[in-house]
Structure 1
Amino acid sequence: MKTHVKALIVGGGAVGCGIALHLARAGWDTMLVERDELTAGSTWHAAGLLPLFNMGYATGHIHDYSVKLYAGLEAETGLNAGFTRCGNLRMAQTDARMDEYMLYSTTAETIGIEHEFLTPAQIKERWPLVRTEDLKGALFHPTDGYINPADVTQAMARAARLAGATIERKIQVNGYRWTGSEWIVSCDRMVEKGGNLIAANEPFEIHAEHVVTATGNHAQRTARLLGIKIPAIPVEHQYIVTEPDPALVKWRAEGNPEHPVLRDADAKWYVREERGGWILGPYERNAPARFLYDVPETFRADLFPLDLERIEEEYMSMIHRIPTSETVGLKDDFNGPICYTPDGNPLVGPAPGLRNMWLAEGFSFGITAAGGVGHYLAQIMTQGEAEIDMASLDPRRFGRWMTTEYAVKKNEESYEHVFVLHHPDEEREAARPLRTAPAYDRQAAAGAQFGQVNGWERPNYYAPQGFDDHAARSFRRGGWWQFVQDEAKAIRETAGLIDASAFAKHRVYGAGATAFVDWLTTNKLPKVGRINLTYALTETGTTHTEYTVVRIAEDDYYLISAGAWADYDGDNLTKLAEDKAGDFGPIIVQDITTQWGVYAIAGPNSRAILNEIVRDADPATVLGNKRFPWLSMRNIELGMVPVRAIRVAYTGELGWELHYPIEFGRHLWDLLVKAGEKHGLKLVGARAQNWLRQEKSYRAFGTELGRDATPLEAGLDRFVDLGKDFRGKAAMEAKGIRSKCVTLLIDGPEDADPWGREALYLDGVKVGRLTSGGYSVAFGKSIGMGYVRPDLAVEGTRLKVRMMRELYDAVITEDSPYDAENKVIRIDG
C-alpha cells in the first residue's frame, strides 16, 4: 500500500469516490481510504434520486454536472450504474408554489437545465394514476431520474482506478498532523470481529500533500481530530417501499412508460416506482438529529427503528395523490442518517485555519452532488479556483461561534424545510434570536422584522406591531414591500438609520502591515485618516473579498467587509499574513467584529441630525467638507459616545457610518433616534438599503462580486491600480473581459420585481443573467444588476428579462444612474 501521495481522500461514499475520480483525472497521485466498505455510510440506504431542481446557482451546476457524468459511466467503466432517466414531476397545489417554480425556472435557464411547465390536464393525460383536480400545475424535468447509489459509487470508484487512483478499504484515520509541507495521517487497519469493525492495533502513517475529508456521518469525529468546527450532523430520514400496486403493474404491462419521480412539495414527499410498487420518502416535522458527537463503533450499514406515526400525514397524502396505493401493503422500510448543515448546503472547500485540508461534508443530497462536487472541488485544488463561484458552499461561511446545539436545531430545521416554500425573502426561525446587537430590543419594540446574517439579528424592515412577516413573504411584492418603499424614500428625502453591526471587521497592523495590505488589494492605499474601496483577489484573479480600508495610523488598518463572511475573510487574511511575514515583516490580524458596532445614518438631513449631538469646540464645522470630507475618517464624540466616524454611505446619499465600541450601542441608538425626531429620521432595514445601492450601481459581494468574475469584469476599473503589483494581478489581466457587469432599469410586471436570478435575452438568445434585483424609488420601476456579453454592456442596449415565465423590457442604464456625479453624497453643510 502507498504511504506517500499527493492527495488523500478520507471516506469511501459516493462523494469521496467522485472526488477521487476527478483528482485522478487531473493527474494527481490520489488515494482514497475507507474505514469499512465503499458505500457503507449513508450511500447504501439513499433513495438514489437525482433532483436537478435547486434554487442555488452553484448547487444547480453541481447537480447538472453529476447527472451528465452518470449517464456516461457505463461506457467508460463497463459497470451499469442503474441510471433510470424517467424525469421528475414537481407538482404544485398552490399559486405560491407555482411562483416558486417560475422563479426556479430562471435559475435553470441561466444554467441550461431542461424543464417545462405542465397543466393539471396534461399531467392527468400522461399519468392517469395521479390525482390532479386540486393541483395548479407542475414543473417537469425530462432529464431527471434516479440511480442505484451503490452501483454509481462503484462505477466512479472503477473510473477513478482507471485514471490512476488507489482505493484502500478497512483503513481508519485516527489523527492528522501538519508538518508545514505535508500532512502525516495516522491510520489503523480495521478487522471484522463478531459482526463489528474494530481496530487491529497495527498503526501506520500516510504522508499526503493534500487531504480531503468526505466522512459523512463521521464528520464530528473528523472535526475533533482536526480541532475545527464542522456543523454537519445527520438527521433521520425514513422512506418506505410498498408491495406492488396492481393498477401500476397493469399500467406498465400495457406498455406505458415509467412514472417520473413524483414530488408533491406541498405535501412534503417524493414518490417513485419500485418493482411495481412505490417508494415514499417524506420530509416530515420533528425528524431528530443523530450522532451529535460520534457514530457508535457498532453502527455500520445500520438503520434506526421506523417511526410511522411521524410520517402518517405524508403517507395519507400519498394515498390522496395516488389513490390506487391505498390498499397496497408495506414491503420494506428504511430510516437512516443523512447529513445536513444549518443552511442545507454542503461544506465544500478549504478547512478553516488549516493548510491543504479540504472538506466535502454535510451532503443531504450526496448522490446527486457527488460527481459535480468532485469536478468543481478538483478544479479548486488543482487550478486554484472553480469555473463557477463556489463561495456559497465554502466551509468558512459558518463562524467559530457555532455550537453543537445550534447546528442540531438548524440542521433539523433544514431537513423539515426541504419542501417548504423557498421564498427569496425567507427567514428561518430556529435558534433565534442568538447573536444580537445592543439595540436589538429597541428595534424589536419599533417593529423590526429581523433577518439573520452569520447568526446576527439584523432588521430587514420595520412594520407596525402585530405584523406577520411570515405571512408577508412572497415571490412577488409581499406584504412588506410598501414598508421598504417608504424606508427607501425616507433616505432619499429626509434621513434613515440602519444597524449595520453585522459587518465583518478586521484590524491588520504591525511593521509589515502596509506592504501586506498594499500587496493584498487592488487599489492605492489611503492616507492616514482616509478610506478607500478595494478588492482582494484570488491567485486566479477573481474577486475574493471587497474591503473598505480605513487607515488608522501609518501601519494600522481597519478592514470592513460583508457581514456574512467574517471567518471566510479572517481565514484568508491570517493565512496570507503568515505567508508574507517573511517578505514584509510582522503582520498581526485580529477579528474585531464583535468589538465594534455600526450604525449607518444617511439622507439629506443626516448632517443636521448629527450636528444635534456632536461634541466639538466648533460643532458647526466638524461635519463639513473642509474638516470631514467624503471618504475620510474622524474620531468624534456623539454625546458621551466615542465614535470612529466614516463618511461613506452604501445608499449613495449624504451619510456616515458610525463605528462605536459595542458597549455604547444602546445609548448611541437612543441618542440618534431622539435627535432625528424633528428631522424626519426613519428606521430603515437591509432591504431598502439593497434597493438603494442598486440605484448607485454599488456591487455587492456574493451577487455581483465573486470568484467567477474579476473586478475589471465587474466594471470596477477605478478601484484597480494597474500601476502597482498585487496578488492575482497577472491572472486577472490574462482572463480579459469575458462578461461585463451592468445596471438595468426594468419595465416588469405590476406586482413583482426581479430577485437577481433572472435570465437576460436579446432577440430570443440568452446573453446574460441578473445577479441582483429590486425596486427603484428614484425611477419608479424595477431595477437589477447583472452580467452580459461585453459587446452589449453599453448604455441604451435594450434587452428582455424573464420574470414569471414572461419576457419584459429592460434597458442598460449608465453606471450609478442615481446621482452619477456623486454631487449628493459630497454636499457640504
Structure 2
Amino acid sequence: MRTSARAVVVGGGAVGASIAYHLAKAGWADTLLLERDELTSGSTWHAAGLLPYFNMSYATTWIHDYSIKFYKTLEEETGLNAGFSVVGNLRMAQSKERLDEYMLYASTAESVGVPFEWLTPQDIKDRYPLVRTDDLVGAIYHPTDGYINPADVTQAMAKGARQRGVEIQRKVQVDGYTQTPDGWRVHCRRMVEKGGNLVPGEETWDITCEHVVTATGNHAQRTAKLLGIKIPAIPVEHQYIVTEPDPALQEWRKTNGEHPVLRDADAKWYVREERGGWILGPYERNAPARFEYGVPDSFRADLFPLDLDRIEEEYMSMIHRIPSSETAGLKDDFNGPICYTPDGNPLIGPAPGMQNMWLAEGFSFGITAAGGAGHYLAQMMVEGEAEIDMASLDPKRYGDWMTTEYAARKNEEAYEHVYILHHPDEERPAARPLRTSPAYDRQKAAGAQFGQVNGWERPNYYAPEGFDDHAARSFRRGGWWQYAKEEAEAIRSGVGLIDATAFAKHRISGPGATAFLDWFTTNRLPKPGRINLTYALTSAGTVRTEYTIVRLAENDYYLVSAGAWHAYDEDVLYKAIWEKEEEFGRINEQDVTTQWGVFALAGPKSRDVLKALIRDAEPDTALSNKRFPWLSMRNIELGMVPTMAIRVAYTGELGWELHHPIEMQTHLWDKLIEAGAPHGLKLVGARAQNWLRQEKSYRAFGTELGRDATPLEAGLDRFVDLDKDFHGKDMLQKTGIRWKCVTLLIDGPADADPWGREAILHNGEKIGRLTSGGYSTAFGKSIGMGYVRPDLAEPGTKLTVRMFRELWDAEVAEDSPYDPKNETIRRDG
C-alpha cells in the first residue's frame, strides 16, 4: 500500500482529477489521488455538463476560458473522447435591463479575450426557428463553448494524470490529517461494499506527504471537521428533466446542426438538446440546502425525489419559449446535490492557519471550472503564485464568524440568484443583518442603505424615508446615484462622517516585531506616533495585501487593512510570523478588529467639528499641523471617549480616522452628530467614498492591488524602499513593468458610469482594463482606474473605454488628479 507522496489529492471528481493532472504536468509526478468511492461518483456523475463562459468574476472567467480550451486537447493526448459538443451558448434577454447585464458581462469577456456575438430577435429566429422570439430584445452568443460529458472528461483527465505518473486509489476514505514538521500525515481507511452501501472497513494506514489538496465536493463539511476549520460549501438541490423526442426538433435536425445551449435568464433556466429531445435545467426558488452537517455514508451516486411542483413555472416557460416541446413527454429526471458557496464562486487556495494544505471546494459549476481550477491551483502550489489574481476565490474570504446556518441560507440564495439580474450594486438580503456595529440602529434611522462586507453591515449611502434600495439598482446610474453624489460633494466642500468599523485591525508586538515587519513589508517603518502605508508581497513580488501601520511604541504596532479581507490578512500575518519567529524573536499577533470601532471624519470643516469635542489644555491648537501633523497618530479624548486618532483620509481631504473602544461607539456617534450640526455635517456611505478615493488615485486592494501586479506596476514606488531587504524584493525587481496603473477621466454616457470591469482600447486595440469606476464630482464626469500598456500610461494619452457596446473617449490623468500636491489634506488650522 502506498505510504508516501509529494502531494495527495483527496477527491476523484472532475476537480480532483484536474488538480492531479495539472500537478503532474507541472512536474509533480509523485502525486497520489484518493477517492472514497469511484471516480465521478459525487456530483460529477449527474451534472448536466454545461460549459458556460458567462461570469461576472474576472478570475472565474479566466478559469472557465482555460477549461474550455483545455478540454478540446484531451482526446489527442489521452485517446479518450471527452464528449465535448461545441454547439455554442445562446443567452437570451427579455428586457433592455437584461441586455444591459450582458453588456456589462461582455466587458469582462472582452478583457479576457472571450469571443462573443450580439444577436437580434430576428437573427435568433432566422437561425433557430423553433425558438419563440417575439418577446425578446436580443441575445449574446458564445460560439466556442457548449456542453461535455462529465464522466468522460473526468476519466480523460484521470488517464492523462496516470500517463504523467499520478497514482489513483479508489475506495479509500480519509479519516484525518496530522500536520508534521515536513508536511502532512493523511490517515486512510479502506472502504468496503456491504449490502449495497459503502462502509468503512478495518484496514487503515497513513500516507506522508508535503502537500494535501482537498477536492471533496459534497463532503466539504466532513473535510472542515477533520481539519478543524470552517468551509462554507454546502450542497443545494438541483433538478433537471429530460424529455422524450420532440418531433419538430427531429425534423429540423435532418437538415441543420444542433441547437446551442439555450439560456433564458429571465425565465431562470437552461435548455439543450438530448437525443432528439430536450434537457431543462431550472434555477428555481426555494431549492433547499442538503447535508449541512455531512453526507450520510449510505448516500453514494444517489438522487433526491423530484419536486415537479417547485419547477412548474420554469417548465411552462420552456414550453412558451420552445412551443414544440409541449408535445414531448417527460423521459427522465434528476435531482442531485450541487455544492455552493455564499457568493456562488468556488474556494480555491491555501487553507487558513495551515502550511501546505490546499482547498478546492464549493464548485457550483464544477465541470466548467475543473480544468482551469486545476491549472491555476497547480501554479500556486508549484510556482508560489498563479499568473492571475486568485484572491477573489480565496477560501479565507469568509471568517470564523461564518456558521453552518449562515452558509446554508446564503448558498440557497446563491442558487436562486444564478439567473437573477446581477446588478453590480446589488446587495443580497439572506442572513442579514448579522454583524452590526453599535451605531447601526442610529444609521438605519438616518436612512442608511446598507451593504455587507465580510458579514458587517456598512452604509453604502443614505436616502430619505421610504426609499427602496432594491428598486434603485441598475446597470446604469441607479436611484441611489444622486444621494452618493451629494455625499461626495459634502466631503469636498464641508464635512462628512463615514463608518469604517469593518476595517480589519491587528496588533503586532514583542521583541521580534520590528525586525519582522521590516522584512514583511516594503516601506520604511514609521517612527513612534507616526503612520505609513505599506505592502506585503507574494513570493512572485506581487501584492499580497495592503496595510496602514501605526507605530504605537518601539516594538508595538497597530495594523489596519481592508475589512473585506479580514481573515485573509490575519492568515497572511500568522503564516509569515510562523515562518520567521525563530529568526527574529518572539512576535505577538492579536486580532483586535471587534474591539475598535472606526469613524472617518473628512472635509474642510472636519477640524472645526473635532475642536468642539476635544478635551485638551489648548483645544484650539491640539489639532494643528504642529501638534498633530498629517500621517501621525495621537491619543486624544473626544468627550468621554478615549480615541486613537489618525490623521489620514481615504477621501483625500483634511480628515481623521477615529479609532475608539467599540462599546463607546454610540456615545461618540451622538457627540459627533451634535458637534457637526452647526457645520452642516453629512452622513456619507461607501459609494461616495469609493468615488472620492479614485479622484486621488488611491489604489484599493482587491481592485487595483492584487497578486497579478507588483506595487511598482501599480505606481506605488514611493511606498517601496529598495534600500532594504523585504520578502518578495528579488522577484519584484526581476518582474519589471509589464503594465501600469492609471487614472482615467472618461466622457461617458449621460446616464451611466463604469463599474471597473470595462476594456480599455487604443485605436481599436484592447490595451488594458478598468479595475474601478465611478463618478467624479470634482470633474463632473466619469472616472476610472485600471491597467494599460506602459507606453500608453503617460498623462494626456487619449484612449477609449467600452461601455454598453460603444467606445467612449477617455484621457489618462495625472496621478491624483484632484489636489495633486496634497494641499487640502495638509490644511492647517
Q: Does 1:291 align with 2:294?
A: no
CA distance in 1, matches of 2:196, 2:84: 32
Match of 2:518 in 1: 518
Deviation, structure 1 residue 807: 0.3
Q: What corresponds to 1:104 in structure 2?
A: 105
1:323-362 alignment, distance < 5 Å: 323-362=323-362
Q: Distance in 2 between matches of 1:512 and 1:152?
A: 51
Q: 1:327: Cα distance to partner?
A: 1.9
Corresponding residue for residue 177 of structure 1: 178
Whole-angstrom distance in 1 between the partners of 2:823 and 2:65:
47
Paired residues for 1:121-520 under 5 Å: 121-253=122-254, 255-520=255-520
For residue 27 of structure 1, report the CA deviation from its aligned partner. 1.1
* Structure 1: runs of 5+ lacking an equivalent: none
Distance in 2 (CA, whole Å) between partners of 1:651 and 1:644 is: 19
Q: CA offsets per residue over residues 322-346 of structure 1, 9 Å max, x none?
A: 0011121100000000000011110
Cα distance in 1 for partners of 2:181, 2:360 equals 22
Q: Report how far residue 190 of structure 1 moved.
A: 1.1
Q: Take 1:83 and 1:214, find their aligned partners in 2: how far apart are those partners?
A: 23
Structure 1 SS opposite 2:38: coil
CA–CA distance in 2 between the matches of 1:314 and 1:827? 61
Residue 711 of structure 1 corresponds to 711
Question: What pairs up with 1:712-751 in 2 under 5 angstroms?
Answer: 712-751=712-751
Match of 2:42 in 1: 41
What secondary structure does 1:547 align onto? strand
Query: How far apart are the structure 2 equivalents of 1:222 and 1:795?
Result: 52
| SS of residue paired to 1:470 | coil
Structure 2 counterpart of 1:541:
541
| 1:499-554: CA deviation from partner (whole Å, max 9, x where unpaired) | 00000001000000000111111111000000001101011100011110000111
Give the Cα separation in 2 of the matches to 1:543 and 1:502: 21
Q: Secondary structure at the match of 1:578?
A: helix
Look up the match of 2:663.
Answer: 663
Residue by residue over 1:270-299, the C-alpha shift from the partner in whole angstroms, topping out at 9 and shown as x without a partner, is: 000000000000000000000011111110
Q: What amino acid maps onto 1:423 in structure 2?
A: H
Instruction: Name the residue aligned to 2:699.
Output: 699
What is the Cα deviation at residue 381 of structure 1? 0.2
Counterpart for residue 676 of structure 2: 676
1:774 matches 2:774:
yes
Provide the secondary structure at the position in 1 that maps to 2:251: helix
SS across alignment from 2:566 = helix
What residue identity is the alignment partner of 1:248? L
2: distance between equivalents of 1:282 and 1:661?
49
- Whole-Å separation in 1 of the counterparts to 2:676 and 2:360: 50
> 1:223 aligns to what SS in structure 2?
helix
1:560 corresponds to 2:576: no
Counterpart of 1:66 in structure 2 is 67
The CA deviation string for residues 419-458 of structure 1, in whole angstroms up to 9 with x for no partner, is 0011110100000000001100000000000000000000
Query: How many Å separate the matches in 1 of 2:487 and 2:809?
Result: 27
Instruction: Encode CA deviations 1:767-815: one digit per residue, 9 max, x unaligned.
Output: 1110000000000000000000011110100001100000000000100
Query: SS at 2:483's partner residue?
Result: helix
Partner of 2:488: helix, strand, or coil? helix
Distance, in Å, in 2 between the alignment partners of 1:95 and 1:613 is 52
Aligned residues: 828
Alignment of 1:758-773 (within 5 A): 758-773=758-773
> How far 1:558 moved relative to its partner?
0.3
- Partners of 1:793 and 1:239 in 2: CA distance: 50
Deviation at residue 198 of structure 1 after TM alignment: 1.4
Structure 1 residue identity aligned to 2:265: A
Query: Residue 827 of structure 1 corresponds to which residue in structure 2?
Result: 827
Distance 1:559 1:673 in 2: 28
C-alpha offsets along residues 464-497 of structure 1, whole Å, 9 cap, x if unaligned? 0110000000000000000000000000000100
Letter in 2 for 1:707: R
Which string of whole-angstrom CA distances, capped at 9 and with x for unpartnered residues, describes residues 111-158 of structure 1? Answer: 000001100000000000000000010010000100000000000000
1:631 matched to 2:640: no
User: 2: CA distance between counterparts of 1:315 and 1:208?
Assistant: 50
Give me the whole-angstrom Cα distance separating, in 2, the residues matched to 1:8 and 1:581.
Answer: 29
User: For 1:634-657, what per-residue CA distance to the aligned partner results, in whole angstroms no more than 9, with x for missing partners?
Assistant: 000000000000000000000000
Q: Distance in 1 between matches of 2:575 and 2:722?
A: 25
Indicate whether 1:113 and 2:114 are aligned: yes
Helix, strand or coil: the match of 2:344?
coil
Shift of 1:2: 2.3
SS at match of 2:203: coil
Can you list the C-alpha shifts for 1:732-769, whole angstroms capped at 9, x where unaligned? 11100000000010000000000001111111111111
TM-score, L = length of structure 1: 1.00
Question: What secondary structure is seen at the aligned counterpart in 1 of 2:612?
Answer: helix
Matches of 1:171 and 1:504, distance apart in 2: 41
**Hey, what's the Cα distance between the residues in 2 that align with 1:626 and 1:612?**
19
Query: Partner amino acid for 2:129?
Result: P
User: Structure 1, residues 661-703: CA drift from partner, whole Å, max 9, x if none?
Assistant: 1101111011101111110110000000000000000000000
**Distance in 1 (alpha carbons) for counterparts of 2:680 and 2:822:** 23
How far does residue 191 in structure 1 lie from its aligned partner after superposition? 1.4
Q: Percent identity?
A: 76
**SS of match in other structure, 1:419:** coil
C-alpha distance in structure 2 between counterparts of 1:455 and 1:199, whole Å: 38
Q: Helix, strand or coil for the counterpart of 1:203?
A: strand
In structure 2, the residue matched to 1:606 is 606
Q: Secondary structure at the match of 1:469?
A: coil
Letter in 2 for 1:194: G
Q: TM-score, normalised by structure 2?
A: 1.00
Q: For the residues of structure 2 that align with 1:496 and 1:370, how far apart are their CA atoms?
A: 47
Matching residue of 1:95: 96
What stretches of structure 2 of length at least 5 have no aligned partner?
none
SS of residue in 2 equivalent to 1:459: strand
**Counterparts of 2:133 and 2:579, CA distance in 1:** 62
Give the letter for the 1:208 counterpart: C
CA distance in 2, matches of 1:537, 1:81: 40
SS at match of 2:19: helix
CA distance in 2 between partners of 1:182 and 1:448 (Å): 49
Partners of 2:461 and 2:504 in 1: CA distance:
21
Residues 246-275 of structure 1 show CA distances to partners (whole Å, capped at 9, x for unaligned) of 00000001x211110000000100000000
Residue correspondence of structure 1 range 575-654 to structure 2 within 5 A: 575-654=575-654
How far does residue 572 in structure 1 lie from its aligned partner after superposition? Answer: 1.0
Runs of 4+ in structure 1 over 6 Å off:
none
Measured in 2, the distance between the counterparts of 1:130 and 1:550 equals 62
Q: Deviations over 1:193-221 (max 9, x none)?
A: 11111122101111111000000000000
Q: Residue 53 of structure 1 corresponds to which residue in structure 2? A: 54
- State how far apart, in whole Å, the 1-side matches of 2:613 and 2:184 are: 57
Indicate the residue corresponding to 2:813 in structure 1: 813
CA distance in 1, matches of 2:616, 2:141: 66
CA distance in structure 2 between the partners assigned to 1:680 and 1:291 by the alignment: 54
Task: Kindly provide the amino acid, as one letter, of the partner of residue 627 in structure 1.
Answer: R
